[in-house]
């Protein structure tokens, strides 16, 4: 069986996901009609219950529960449709590159322009229609920064060969590039690197005695209130416990404020970061560079996606204290203090690893950008980089963003150092 060309594979996948978009749209329409029907049923039950007294008002619980379930299902279908639309856009960008119609539609990298750089302007590295726009499939700032750094600075022969081996290992994995593009786009849409940098801020772990003491005080307060409610203790005991806890909570408010500034409200953002890290963890090994990047992700034998999701749980718990129905219990238990101390402990244990995780993701996105170019241009060769005397030799040389027919057929030999 003949392997599909890049164009055929892109078209096949685009068509499949276009069908997914259409299916999700039809399902959304059915859900909307079902919600309207449930609303009419609820009106009918309300008329029978309150107008004619033929039914118990408790019958309204059935359509209300069904309506709530439809809301949850509808949200999932909308997310599925949005993801399918992003995948379609990913393959449409690929087809545009193959057609030579990509200029002005991608990441131009203008922010990396340096008018004093030795060769960036001559080689048209950044800007509309630039080499960066052609190559860059990174959707996060970390990936863009890494790719730009590689284009702007020479690398030693060993580093060049390591990147080439990694790119060759990643080139066939179109599924990985699709997943990283979609997940990275979701991260780029909502997550700012400055937000993640707050996790890496230096933090001292709270003393274990402090955490245990706070937990014991909350347990005593709950026990005092339970005893009062059961008639086993006078109310003054419960009020005294609550007062003591209030003073302690007030003294520890600095921890809560620090946690709020660092992570409050960023639970969904952390989940998206965890999804990108999880996809990276499943990426195929196959080169020493990829092996090293995977090794950089491991902290205390635990995968970073699990570690970030553990923080996401604490962030959600911290945010829950703002729910008006949960406020009484939060006040009764020093909820914010416990969550803040747990978050502070996480930052002390794992905050220093955040930069390494982000750097690893940036490296993988940059490598996948080069792998995508290699997959779309299978006839292009990898340069041979050797140690020793600095010299440059090339045949049929051409700029990657120029039409293939524009490659120069002359053999070039120069004493200039090889480009990285």
- pLDDT at position 292 over 90: no
- Say what the pLDDT of residue 374 is: 94
pLDDT at 300: 61
Query: Which pTM does this prediction carry?
Result: 0.81
Q: Which of 58-72, 114-128, 238-252, 271-285 has the lowest mean pLDDT?
A: 271-285
Q: Which of 40, 102, 95 is CA-nearest to residue 67?
A: 40
DSSP state for residue 118 in the 8-state scheme: S
60 has a pLDDT exceeding 50: yes
Across the range 340-344, mean pLDDT stands at 89
pLDDT of residue 201: 64
pLDDT at 244 over 60: yes
CB 307 within 8 A of CB 357: no
Q: What is the pLDDT of residues 6-40, one digit of tens each?
A: 999 999 999 999 999 999 999 999 999 999 999 99
Q: Report whether pLDDT(376) > 70.
A: yes
Return the pLDDT at 418.
46
User: Hey, what are 126's tokens?
Assistant: 């950044």
Tokens at 77, concatenated: 């279908």
Beta-strand pair 408-414/392-397: antiparallel
User: How does the average pLDDT of the chain come out, rounded?
Assistant: 85
pLDDT at residue 193 above 70?
A: no
The model's confidence at residue 74, banded by pLDDT at 50, 70 and 90, is very high
In this prediction, residue 139 carries a pLDDT of 81
């Amino acid at each position: 069986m003949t392997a599909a060309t890049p164009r055929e594979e892109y078209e096949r996948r685009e068509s499949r996901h276009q069908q997914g978009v259409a299916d999700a749209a039809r399902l959304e329409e059915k859900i909307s009609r079902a919600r309207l029907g449930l609303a009419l049923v609820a009106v009918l039950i309300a008329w029978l219950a309150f107008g004619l007294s033929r039914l118990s008002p408790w019958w309204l619980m059935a359509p209300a529960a069904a309506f709530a379930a439809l809301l949850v299902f509808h949200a999932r279908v909308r997310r599925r449709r949005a993801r399918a639309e992003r995948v379609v856009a990913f393959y449409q960008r690929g087809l545009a590159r193959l057609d030579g119609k990509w200029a002005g539609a991608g990441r131009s990298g203008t922010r990396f322009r340096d008018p004093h750089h030795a060769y960036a302007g001559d080689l048209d590295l950044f800007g509309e229609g630039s080499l960066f726009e052609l190559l860059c499939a990174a959707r996060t700032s970390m990936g863009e920064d890494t790719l730009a750094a590689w284009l702007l600075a020479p690398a030693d022969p060993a580093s060049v060969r390591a990147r080439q081996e990694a790119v060759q290992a990643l080139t066939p994995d179109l599924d990985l590039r699709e997943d990283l593009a979609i997940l990275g786009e979701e991260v780029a849409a909502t997550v700012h690197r400055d937000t993640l940098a707050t996790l890496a801020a230096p933090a001292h772990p709270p003393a274990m005695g402090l955490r245990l003491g706070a937990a014991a005080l909350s347990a005593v307060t709950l026990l005092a209130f339970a005893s009062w409610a059961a008639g086993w203790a006078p109310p003054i005991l419960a009020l005294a416990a609550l007062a003591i806890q209030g003073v302690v909570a007030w003294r520890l408010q600095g921890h809560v404020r620090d946690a709020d500034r660092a992570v409050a409200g960023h639970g969904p953002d952390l989940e998206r970061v965890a999804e990108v890290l999880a996809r990276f963890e499943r990426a195929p090994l196959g080169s020493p560079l990829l092996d090293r990047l995977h090794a950089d992700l491991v902290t205390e034998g635990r995968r970073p996606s699990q570690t970030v999701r553990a923080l996401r749980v604490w962030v959600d718990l911290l945010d829950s204290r703002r729910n008006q129905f949960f406020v009484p219990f939060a006040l009764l238990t020093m909820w914010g203090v416990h969550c803040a101390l747990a978050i502070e402990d996480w930052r002390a244990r794992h905050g220093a690893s955040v930069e390494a995780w982000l750097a690893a993701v940036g490296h993988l996105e940059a490598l996948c950008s080069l792998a995508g170019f290699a997959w779309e241009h299978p006839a292009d060769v990898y340069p041979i980089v050797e140690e020793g005397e600095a010299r440059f030799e090339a045949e049929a040389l051409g700029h990657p963003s120029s039409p293939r027919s524009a490659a120069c057929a002359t053999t070039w030999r120069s004493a200039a150092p090889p480009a990285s």
